[in-house]
Structure formats: C-alpha cells, structure tokens
Amino acid sequence: MASPRWIRLLAVLSCFALIGAACASDGAGEDGAAGDDVAAEAGSGDADSDPDSDSGSDSGSDEASSDDADDEDADAEADEPESTTTTAAADPTAGLTGFDAVDAFAEQFVVDNGLEGASLIVVHRDDGVIHQQQYGSFEEGRMSLIASSSKMISSGVLLVLQERGLLDIEAPISAQTDWSPGAEITPAQLVSNSSGLVGLGPDLLYSPYFCQWSPLTSLDDCSTTVLETPDDDADVVAPESEFRYGGAQWQVAGGVAESVSGQTWADLIEEIYVEPCGVDSLGYMNLAQVLTADSGAGYPSLFTGDPSSFDLSENPSIEGGAHITPADYGTLLLMHLRGGECDGGQVLSQESLDIMHADRMATLGLDAGPDTGYGMGWWVDRETGIISDGGAWGTLPWLNLEDGYGAYWVIEDENSTTGMIAEDLIGLVHVAVTGDDLTN
C-alpha cells in the first residue's frame, strides 16, 4: 500500500495533471494556488482511514459496553479467516524475485483493476534497456497520450535553445521576444511552475487563458493573449512567490521557444529529439482535439494510437500533449542517464540536465507538495532523491540518478489508479535493479 507521503503527492498530481485540476477548486485559496490545500486534504484523511490510528481506536471507547466487546470479538473471529485468505491471494510476488516479482505484481494489478493493459520499461545508464514487458492486451509498439509526462520533454527544448545561444532561461522574456506586458517573467520560471501566472487550479478552464485549449490558434497568438490580457491581473502573483502547477505558462514557454528559434514546435521536437534519438513516435497535439464532454478523468477514447488521424495544431499542448511509445520514452530516460546523449548524437549537456533535475523550489523556499520539490519538468522526492514526471492518465516515468536507472510505467486510465501502486512498483523495480530495498 502506498505511504501517506506518496498518497499526498499523487493527490496533487491527480488534481493538477490536466484533467483532474478542477477537483482542487474546493480546497484552493483565493490566490488560486491549491497544491498545498489538496495535499493537506489528502493527508487529513490518513488517520481516519487507518484502522490502527489513534483517532480510530479512541473513538467511542468510553461508551463501549461488555456486550459491545463480545460482539466485537465475535466479529473479529468471523472476519479472521476471510482476512487471512485475502492477504495470501493478494501477494502475487510470493516466492518470486527480481523482475519476475515485478511482472507478477503488475500483471495482477491489471487484472484486479479491470485494466486493458499496461507496459513497463526499465533502463540502466550502463546496460541500456534491462527490462521491458507488456501486460494484458497492450502490445509493444502501442502509442499513448502521456499528459503531464510531457513536461520533462518540453523543458528540455528550452535548455537546448539556451545551449545554442538563442535563449537565456534566467533573463526576462521581454528582453528576448517582442512581448512586453507581463513578460518580465523568465523561461525558467515558466517551466518550473513558478512564473506567478495562474496554473491549472482551481479553474481548469480559466477564461483569460482559454486559448490554451484551442487547437485552432497558434502558440504565438496564445502566448500574446496570456501575457497581455488584463483580465488575469487580480489573480497573478509575483514570480517565484508560489508554486502553481501547469496551465498556460507552458504555452508561453512553447511560444518563447518558437519565437527565439524561428521554428515551429513540431520542427523543434523533430530536430532535438526524434532525429538524434530515433523516437519516431514522439509528437504533440492540442488535447482539446481528443477530449470530450464525458471524458472526465479517464483516458481520451478518441485517441486510438494514430496521431495522423488528427490535424497538426499550431497550438499543441506543451505541458501535456505528447504521444509516444514506451520504448521511445525509455530512450529519452536513458538519454537523461547518459549525459544527454542518444545514439545519434548529443541532445543536452550534463549541465542542462543538472538544471532540469535540481530542486529549484528548494532554492526559492517553496514546496511543490509534502516532502516534494520541483525542478524543470521533474518532481523531486526530497526523501529518496527520485525524480518523476507523472501524468493524468496513469503514466509514471522516474529516474534514480544515484543508482543510474530509470523506468516508465504506462496505463491508459487515471493517475489515481497508478497512485495505488506507485510506491510498491518503484520499490520492486529498485530491488530488481540493485538487489537492495529502496529504504536502505
């Protein structure tokens, strides 16, 4: 079972990873930064939901009579055999080790939750792909929308442009583009969710930034709208004063990339990632092209793995519109582990990777969640050092930089579904790779 810390982190991800952001509206403050409130709400139920918690064991203790105690003993005796049987059946890893245990655990999870399937790929800095497995009906080359697991890919584009001398991520946008009003924020602040612009919560469809959901406009026009509209004045805060996850600040980041490079986002993705890394499945679309009124938090049924059936939008969703296969995502993780190099050439320098991976929120005195920081496209677990980039529809990429490996798990469901097994899955993979428990 996931620990309270992971439950809180996944609650933040679920509420702010594109689709479920509206769930934070009840807990958000007037300033629109709901992340801490969501995390607090997720954590506040821990004691109540834990049958062994003090609050649960003390409740009603003064009123308990001897008859109540007898009834409780009888109930406990009646329940005990069933509980024992359930526990035994619920351990698919019994007697298994290494990736056999990982696969048994994942396969049982797919069955227990009625999922169509799942996929897992594990890569190692020295050994390349060390494990790849599909579960259920998922096939090896299945292409999926990855929602917010796009963020680390998108952030890398801006770092590449900085390496080329076309962009300074720490300089105001106004000094590097034609935008002036509202453009004193920096590219680094945009892709670290600290620009002060309104994020995905508490209003997913925040009207001044509604252009982010339009596939018929362009990144340039949407960026102009976001930066120059006066309608957000009451909601914007000073840069680096709050962590505000997601939203139109990422569209602005894409607009900046196009502006300084003179290339479209699609061309940048092709040149920076697809060509040197051979990740032919990688591309972007605007999520409004696949979302319907009844999509809810579930995976968009309109996307069946063929992006060519949709028109190429000039306003792709930079924070969450990527599609890719597990093998290709694994290639990008391996690039992060190998000093930014793919088989076809250097993509990012180690210096740029270090900037992306570092906990930028810690330097600002901010938290992205309980015991959680954020870099550029990466969540940072401050206890384990693991960095991750989870997405709304159950994708979970993570890197263990210290031990030199990474993994990518994908289902096509909801982030909360993956949240049920995140800690266990990460722990099992760690044991399979290193032979040690993650807590050691």
Domains of the chain: 112-434 (3.40.710.10)
* 377-403: average pLDDT: 97
pLDDT of residue 47: 32
* pLDDT: which is higher, 296 or 429: 429
Question: Rounded to whole angstroms, what are the CA distances from 290 to 57, 153, 274?
Answer: 48, 21, 23
* pLDDT: which is higher, 403 or 16: 403
Q: Nearest to residue 337, comparing CAs of 123, 170, 83, 163?
A: 123
Average pLDDT, the chain: 84
* pLDDT: which is higher, 31 or 196: 196
Is the pLDDT at 16 greater than 90? The verdict is no
Residue pointed to by tokens 């799942």? 118
Is the pLDDT at 51 greater than 60? The verdict is no
Q: Does a cis peptide bond (omega within 30 degrees of 0) precede residue 81? A: no
Least confident of 60-74, 115-129, 147-161: 60-74
Where residue 22 falls among pLDDT bands split at 50, 70, 90?
very low
Q: What is the dihedral of CA 401, 419, 366, 362, to 10 degrees?
A: -10
CA atoms within 13 A on the CB side of 342: 19
* 414-437: average pLDDT: 96
Phi, psi of 20 (to 5 degrees): -95, 15
Where residue 15 falls among pLDDT bands split at 50, 70, 90?
very low
Q: pLDDT, tens digit, for every residue of 362-384?
A: 999 999 999 999 999 999 999 99
Residue pointed to by tokens 């339009």? 214
pLDDT of residue 440: 66
* 402-412: average pLDDT: 98
Residues 6+ apart with CB under 8 A from 139: none
Strands (E), 94-207: 117-124, 128-136, 144-145
* 198-217: average pLDDT: 95
Is the pLDDT at 11 greater than 80? The verdict is no
Is the pLDDT at 39 greater than 90? The verdict is no
* 96-117: average pLDDT: 97
* 192-210: average pLDDT: 95
pLDDT of residue 280: 98
Question: b/e per residue, 104-138, with b = 16+ CB within 10 A?
Answer: bbbbbbbeeeebebbbbbbbbbeeeeebbbbbbeb
Q: pLDDT, tens digit, for every residue of 275-308?
A: 999 999 999 999 999 998 777 778 999 999 999 9
pTM to 2 decimal places: 0.82
pLDDT of residue 89: 53
pLDDT of residue 55: 33
pLDDT of residue 182: 65
Q: pLDDT, tens digit, for every residue of 235-279?
A: 999 999 999 999 999 999 999 999 999 999 999 999 999 999 999
